[in-house]
Amino acid sequence: MLIAHISDTHVRPRGLLYQGVVDSNAMLAAAVETINALDPAPDLILFSGDLVDEGRPEEYAMARELLQPLRQRFLMIPGNHDHRQNLRSAFPEHDYFINEENCSFVDSGSAPMRIIGLDISVPDQHHGDMTDTATQGLDRTLALEPDKPTLIMMHQPPFSCAVPYLDAYGCRGGERLAALVRRYPAVERVLCGHVHRFMQTRFAGTIACTAPSTTSAIALAFEETAQAASFVEPPALLLHHWRPGAGMVTHLVPIGVFPGPFDFG
Ligand SMILES: [Fe+2]
């Protein structure tokens, strides 16, 4: 099973640049082309939030147009830049969200893998919150099929990434999630976005990783006093390759068209 995973596309209304600098719409179009060129094609596509930049209806209309060429089913959760209701209105066929309050979902339609989307964003805030209610709900879901290979997707990472200005906006209550996930070894990955960089770490007996943004990379800075800044680095997506018995291997796939193949291996 092959799962393409993109994040933080930050789509703008037609003709506007992300942060006045980056053509995030063109970069999403390039990401879609890269996904469509994958051979073999993925079975499923995941978006881990910040589909658009300001949650505006015209941004979602633009995102819908840009995503149209995708041939596979895709599942998404909102991030801190999204607006839940505007997202739902623009994508009415995405009717898998569990309730009206948020955009969490459980997808078992991609057997043998179960995908859990965990919407832990807090309206008008940059951080996420793994509340007691969210933790209990996730526990009930995991307990339904405790041995089923599972991906948990959330926007803000539940671990400290050692970049101080990012940690200030991470997911609060990560220790609650860790205590829960530790009880379910069938959780193959905790997949996140938000930090606009690829990161991976050991987390509660599984692996947590973040997908890079398709549009910009946050500055690598570990000093307490560092100010938030971004770079336009080569964009990328993740490709999670899962085989029964062999587990999951995650590949970083640069977005674009590159020279090759050449006759050496
Ligand atoms: Fe973002």
Question: From ligand 1's centre to the CA of 194, what distance in Å?
Answer: 5
Which pLDDT value is given to residue 14? 98
Question: From ligand 1's centre to the CA of 26, what distance in Å?
Answer: 16
Model confidence, pTM: 0.97
CB-based contacts of 142-149 (< 8 A; 24+ apart in sequence): 142/116, 142/180, 142/183, 142/184, 142/187, 145/108, 145/114, 146/184, 146/186, 147/186, 148/108, 148/112, 148/113, 148/114, 148/186, 149/112, 149/113, 149/114, 149/186, 149/188, 149/242, 149/244
Asked whether 232 and 20 are in contact (CB, 8 A), the reply is: no
Which pLDDT value is given to residue 254? 98
CB-based contacts of 226-233 (< 8 A; 24+ apart in sequence): 226/163, 226/164, 226/165, 227/165, 228/165, 230/19, 230/196, 232/21, 232/22
Burial 117-147 (b: 16+ CB within 10 A, else e): bbbbbeeeeebbbbeeebbebbeebbeeeee
Question: From ligand 1's centre to the CA of 86, what distance in Å?
Answer: 17
Question: From ligand 1's centre to the CA of 246, what distance in Å?
Answer: 32
Question: From ligand 1's centre to the CA of 214, what distance in Å?
Answer: 10
* Strand 187-192, strand 247-254: pairing: unpaired
Select from 32, 37, 67, 42 the least CA-distant residue to 52: 67
Which pLDDT value is given to residue 129? 97
Q: What are the structure tokens assigned to 128, written together? A: 């996420």
Which pLDDT value is given to residue 111? 74
**Any residues with CB less than 8 A from the CB of 264 and at least 6 apart, and which?**
none
Which pLDDT value is given to residue 196? 98
The 10s digit of each residue's pLDDT in 147-187 is: 999 999 999 999 999 999 999 999 999 999 999 999 999 99
Which pLDDT value is given to residue 112? 85
Question: From ligand 1's centre to the CA of 14, what distance in Å?
Answer: 19
Question: From ligand 1's centre to the CA of 145, what distance in Å?
Answer: 32
Asked whether 180 and 138 are in contact (CB, 8 A), the reply is: yes
Q: Left if phi > 0, otherwise alpha if psi is -120 to 50, otherwise beta: which for 135?
A: alpha
- The Cα 16–Cα 136 span in angstroms is 41
**Any residues with CB less than 8 A from the CB of 256 and at least 6 apart, and which?**
30, 34, 234, 235
> Could you state, in chain order, the average pLDDT of each consecutive group of 10 residues for the chain (265 residues)?
97 98 98 98 98 98 98 96 97 93 88 93 95 96 96 98 93 98 98 98 98 97 93 97 94 97 88
Which pLDDT value is given to residue 119? 97
